[in-house]
Amino acid sequence: MTKLKFIAFILFTALIASCSSDDNKDENESEESYFNFTYNNETKTVTTWEALKQGDFIEVLGTSSQGLAIDFKFNIYGNLYQALTNPATANSNFPHLEASEIFTANTFTFTLENLNTTDKTVQVKYSGKVYENGYDLDSESVNVSGSFKVSYKEIDPLIPNQGTSAKIDGKDWHGLSMSTSNENGVKILNIDNDSEYNFGITLPDDSETGAHTFTNDSEIKVAFQKYDLTTKEYVNYEVAGTITYTTISDFYVEGKFSLTATHPTNNSKIVISNGSFKEGIPLF
């Protein structure tokens, strides 16, 4: 399963920095705000930044005086969906780079230190590699690191309460439909975050609300994968469980699920419980 470069159904776009650490500071910007950024062992002076919060999702963009921007998309639980570095001006020579799109947390550390919903500030530390090709860890890369504390503007989400959550062997997991596919009239919502796990929720074109018991061979099911650091490939687990579609509209699907995932060769099991989802439906 792979992530789209632009997260579907969420108003995450390339932000135009409008809040400055100096003369152009937003009226709600705290005097304690800062944005530190090191790129390829060189300190970049971030002079402008902007942050948006939309439901559970946040985007922060910082732009340096050297003509380099860094952009983060993440959720309120601290899961990083994307980290990008881009040239900020037409004459900038910096390349377009991105954090790994495969098990991002393995090569990029992103720590949400504080989210103050009263003051509307977000504080983060980060470090890791950004690559020429986020799906190829052998491609050219640069080390980045830094921290920021910035004020954010809040906007209404297109789909309130969008996202997917579950307990994986008792531990909380939060993700988002990052990409979609269509196989023989069956839409697959690929649910991902920065961890080694992801889900694939199927939605046949003639789907109706209601409960469905599934196995690995079912058309309606929740597929499950885990990334193997040894083989550097995703393992497709055998699945058995139940999914309930509670709402299917023109724009989103909502429901609940639980399942047991079994490794195809060593038969080890992972229990997924308390699953719930509300995800946008692709137009195709």
CA–CA–CA angle 4, 7, 13 (5° rounding) = 120
Helix (H) or strand (E) holding 182: strand 171-183
pLDDT by residue for the chain (284 residues), tens digit each? 344 434 444 445 445 434 444 444 444 555 689 999 999 999 999 999 999 999 999 999 999 999 999 999 999 999 999 999 999 988 889 999 999 999 999 999 999 999 999 999 999 999 999 999 999 999 999 999 999 999 999 999 889 999 999 999 999 999 999 888 887 778 999 999 999 999 999 998 888 999 999 999 999 999 999 999 999 999 999 999 999 999 999 889 999 999 999 999 999 999 999 999 999 987 55
Cα separation, 119 vs 243, whole angstroms: 39
List of residues 6+ apart from 260 with CB closer than 8 A? 239, 240, 241, 269, 270, 271, 272
Q: What whole-number distance in Å separates Cα of residue 122 and Cα of residue 120?
A: 7
The DSSP bridge partners found for residue 32 are: none
Name the pTM for this structure: 0.89
Q: Which token pair is 85?
A: 């570095």
